[in-house]
Amino acid sequence: METARTLVLVAATVTCGLTAGLFYAFACSVMPALARVGDRTFIEVMQRVNVAILNGWFVLGFVGALLATAAAVALHLPSDGHHALPATVAALVLYVAMIGVTRSINIPLNDELAAAGTPQQITDPAAVRGRFEARWVRFNVLRALLSTAALGCLAWALVLNGQS
């Protein structure tokens, strides 16, 4: 049982770290770089990113972190695994909150941007960008913070798990 707990915690930590890193990279490099380009270029790049990111590697990290963290919680429920349970539960709550932000804010904004059409045919690209950019960036930072906090909790759970 202890080996399973450790392996699942490692998987949860790694996949959560991948997701936190992705959102962090967008927050500190991708979006600041795109802030310096024209409206049509911004729209085109974000539309392409939103299509390209829907791949197996992204899903492996994004969904894998949720499943592995939930499994870690379940494996730490028995009485001999309770010492790491609060940290794993906290990680799961934080990660679910991040998914909630993604589903309720970022994905609908991505869908609106896609629905705007081909950047070259948009009559007012500044307005399209204006409805998207600031809100998407703000909530992406929140996703980065939530997933990083979940990662920290999982790292702490690994420490506690190793002390048992």
33-57: pLDDT as tens digits? 999 999 999 999 999 999 999 999 9
Contact 147, 95 (CB under 8 A): yes
- Is residue 84 within 8 A of residue 76, CB to CB? The reply is yes
* Nearest to 127, CA basis, from 35, 39, 47, 30: 39
What is the structure's pLDDT at 105? 98
Which of 105, 85, 130, 119 has its CA nearest to residue 23? Answer: 105
* Chain Cα centroid distance, residue 64: 11
Rounded to two decimals, the pTM is 0.94
Query: What's the domain range around 69?
Result: 2-163
| Domain total of the chain | 1
Is the pLDDT reported for residue 81 higher than 70? no
DSSP class of 46: H
Per-residue pLDDT tens over the stretch 97-140: 999 999 999 999 999 999 999 999 999 999 999 999 999 999 99
What per-residue confidence (pLDDT) applies to 80? 73
pLDDT at 79 over 80: no
Specify the 3-state DSSP secondary structure of 164: coil
Structure tokens at 90: 């906290």
